[in-house]
Structure 1
């Protein structure tokens, strides 16, 4: 795929997001939800969406929205308008029958960081999506405040340990998110085994091996690319980048890994070309045994390239803390 193809995807994503921002700003003017931010995740946040991509929106308050009057009534009013809006703008319907249209308080999410409710209430997933692949759609100030609060939560041990601190807490959570995605995929395979469901599961697996793995490991690679301990501001700025931009940042900081990253980006461009299809056409690709084996062989090769990148970073960094050592044990 050429740079022109990628520029088209970036332009399309930005155009759709800008239109969505303008429309959302207009429809919430009479909805009293101070401190609310709405952010997009998924392919639109990665700036690689196609005309077949759906829009994933998430809703948080910072500071807390607990004191708002008629909070739930206003939220339902907002959600109803958003459901109408995405249809009018030509997006596919919200996934899961709009089950994810719910709000969360960032303070509550951080209060339960690492605890049982972190997973049970989907706090962990929302926190990771905000950090790893998010673009603000509404409430810029609240978004910045919330994102900085999330970053700060991973630096609780920084003060007094400035010389020895490493962001292993954050890196471990990114790895935990990656493994959670793998578990979620296995769980979905239990839901049905019709030919259509098998094709859908294979398509999700294919996407997992490219887009999700890149989101996670491009972030880990970027965190490992700093010459010194990354500050909270460094991590905040990383969170504003797309996974592809994080890979480009690693290439700038560690020229020795340029060849590995070029190979990764070339293969990722191929992946994007495959996922430009409609849902039905993409699923159909996995019904052919020969084509399915070929596509998954490239996905397997892509995973090896990601591993090669982590090894190359360790080799280039010499005496710095070994990334692979902390990822494994």
Structure 2
């Protein structure tokens, strides 16, 4: 049914197929790469970003990090494996990842560290980012069973035994909100003090980052009336779906679902057009008013926000707790 629905949105469909094809290549390559490693059963490789959302293209990089289930430092134990993993990934996705240190084939983490200090003073932007993206848009590149188990373990940190049944999961929702607000403030820091490019980053914030946040909100809304066991049973299936497919799956009867896809189709057309993408890459805060392209995108992004809000109101009646919880 989703495949048939996507016939109306050729760019969304093309990106989805491109992502699926490349993920298959990457997964096969990593199985071969790690086949002879004595540590292969302790390695899980996670992708987020456009590959996690199912919207990658030839211009996409690969946001990835490695979970290593060992008390020994990965840098000492996996020196050879890390180099081979990097080579395998670059053969399929040659575009370099960002330089923030949050992602990359040399970023290794112990999963049990991701379960500690949620919301505490040691909960850095990097740890919040990896945790939220593993939940909201993550997919496995290697170690599918471990990835699924890790995500369930992380969800149990948010939805605990003994929590009140049939109430909205505020801890999870609040962390999703916190992450989205962190993205927006981090954007300001990166472009103002970090001197990062402004234009394309701003456009992504208006569409793909906003969609990521919305995908988390609707998951929390969807499980609100279930008991603790029901929440944990349904969440993995919802989170396994890339965000757009998740919206379609939940909102097949929602009259605003097609509006969301139309807006996102237009966004993908812009960011994959070589000339338009280059124009946005060189756009600055100072000269944005001179760009007719950016002016059009800004108008469309405001309409996109209104469409997402309308979808939520249409999907969940006025008494649904998600509306109050997003405010208070």
* C-alpha distance in structure 2 between counterparts of 1:171 and 1:159, whole Å: 18
Which residue matches 1:8? 14
Q: CA deviation at 1:298?
A: 0.9
2:34 equivalent to 1:28: yes
Q: Which residue of 2 aligns with 1:233?
A: 233
Does residue 92 in structure 1 map to residue 95 in structure 2? yes
Q: How far does the alpha carbon of each residue in 1:156-205 deviate from its partner, in whole angstroms, 9 at most, with x for none?
A: 1x43632x432111111111111010011001112366xxx5xx312111
Query: How many residue pairs get matched?
Result: 310
Flag structure 1 segments of 5+ consecutive residues without an equivalent: none
Q: Alpha-carbon deviation of 1:95?
A: 2.3
Per the alignment, in what secondary structure is the counterpart of residue 21 of structure 1?
A: helix
Deviation of 1:245 after TM superposition, in Å, equals 1.5
| CA displacement 1:118-153 (0-9 Å, x = unmatched) | 216x22111101101011100112111111101111
C-alpha separation between the residues in 1 aligned to 2:52 and 2:281? 23
Rate the CA distance shift 1:174–1:90 in 2: closer, same or farther, 3 A.
closer
CA gap 1:292/1:225 in 2 versus in 1, 3 angstroms: same
The 5-angstrom pairing of residues 116-265 of structure 1 reads 116-119=121-124, 122-156=126-160, 158-159=161-162, 161-162=164-165, 164-191=166-193, 200-226=197-223, 228-229=225-226, 231-252=231-252, 255=253, 258-265=254-261
3-state SS, counterpart of residue 43 of structure 1: helix
Runs of 4+ in 1 over 4 A off after TM superposition: 284-288
1:247-274, Cα deviation, whole Å (9 max, x unpaired)? 112314xx3xx22222111101110111
Cα contact 2:62–2:93 (8 A) shared by 1: no
Counterparts of 1:86 and 1:97, CA distance in 2: 19
| Residue 283 (structure 1) aligned to one of 275, 281, 284 | 281
2: CA distance between counterparts of 1:79 and 1:51?
A: 24
Distance 1:272 1:85 in 2: 27
Where in structure 2 are there 5+ consecutive unaligned residues?
1-6
1:312, distance to aligned residue in structure 2 (A): 2.9
What TM-score comes out, normalization by structure 2 length? Answer: 0.86
Alignment TM-score, normalising by the size of structure 1: 0.86
Q: Report the equivalent of 2:4.
A: none
Q: Tell me the distance in 2 between the aligned counterparts of 1:59 and 1:90.
A: 17
Q: Is the 8 A contact 1:42 1:55 kept in 2?
A: yes
Q: 3-state DSSP class of the match of 1:259?
A: coil
Cα distance in structure 2, aligned partners of 1:132 and 1:153: 15
Relative to structure 1, is the Cα distance of residues 248 and 205 closer, same or farther in structure 2, using a 3 angstrom cutoff?
A: same
Task: State the Cα distance separating 1:284 from its structure 2 match.
Answer: 5.1
